[in-house]
Amino acid sequence: MFDVSEAKRAMRAQAAAARQAAHAARGAAAAAALRDLFLAKIPIQSGAVVSGFWPMGPEIDVRPLLAALNARGHVLGLPVVIARQQPLVFRRWQPGDAVVAAGFGTSVPPPDAPRVTPTLLIVPLLAFDAEGYRLGYGGGFYDRTLAELRAAGAPLAVGVAYAEQEVPRVPRTPSDQPLDWAVTDAAARRFG
């Protein structure tokens, strides 16, 4: 019998290695390429509230993209884990604002930063496939968050990664939420 959890665990190790190699080879150049492709290809509505994330270790750096979106007048937010098995919340942030250390080597806005509700989510991932499914870190935070936001409207979810993080097929369960787009340092792809 196929064990989805075990398949995801094995894929996480492979995807992390591919991401590490890509990051070491072209981290800063990839961040600039991602920014340019995202801005050229993703349909960003005027007034969109955009959630990004503070990159952990070898994740592709979305801060140049966030700076460009801020310069275009978009309200930005960063995700904050409130509790296990709960959706993320997003706190307002813009380049230059203070951040505080959070778990897993990431940073978040301070607790007094106001909450925002994103209409466009820039989503981190370990791997993604041609059907728009992503492999995260195993906590299910983005799946719960996307399910909740989609029940209340139609946010746009855009996964971002190095090109090497694409895989033939991500193992999935019924609770896994697909992306609307994936943007890498090499291409942008729309799903569905």
CA distance 24 to 161: 14
CA–CA gap between residue 119 and residue 153 (Å, rounded): 9
Quick one: pLDDT band at residue 1, thresholds 50, 70, 90? low
Neighbours of 9 (CB within 10 A): 12
What distance in Å separates the CA atoms of residue 46 and residue 21, rounded to the nearest whole number?
Answer: 36
**DSSP single-letter state for residue 73:** T
Q: 23-27, 103-107, 148-152, 173-177: which has the minimum mean pLDDT?
A: 103-107
Residue 2 pLDDT class (50, 70, 90 cuts): confident
CB neighbour class for 173 (10 Å; exposed up to 12, middle 13-18, buried from 19): exposed
Q: Give the pLDDT score at 130.
A: 97
Q: Look-up: residue for tokens 């409207």?
A: 153
Which CATH superfamily includes the segment(s) 4-190?
A: NagB/RpiA/CoA transferase-like (3.40.50.10420)
Bridge-based pairing of strands 156-160 and 49-51 is: unpaired
Q: Structural domain boundaries of the chain?
A: 4-190
> Residues 28-84: pLDDT tens digits?
999 999 999 999 999 999 999 999 999 999 999 999 999 999 999 999 999 999 998
CB 47 within 8 Å of CB 76: no
User: What are the pLDDT digits (tens) for 116-170?
Assistant: 999 999 999 999 999 999 999 999 999 999 999 999 999 999 999 999 999 999 9
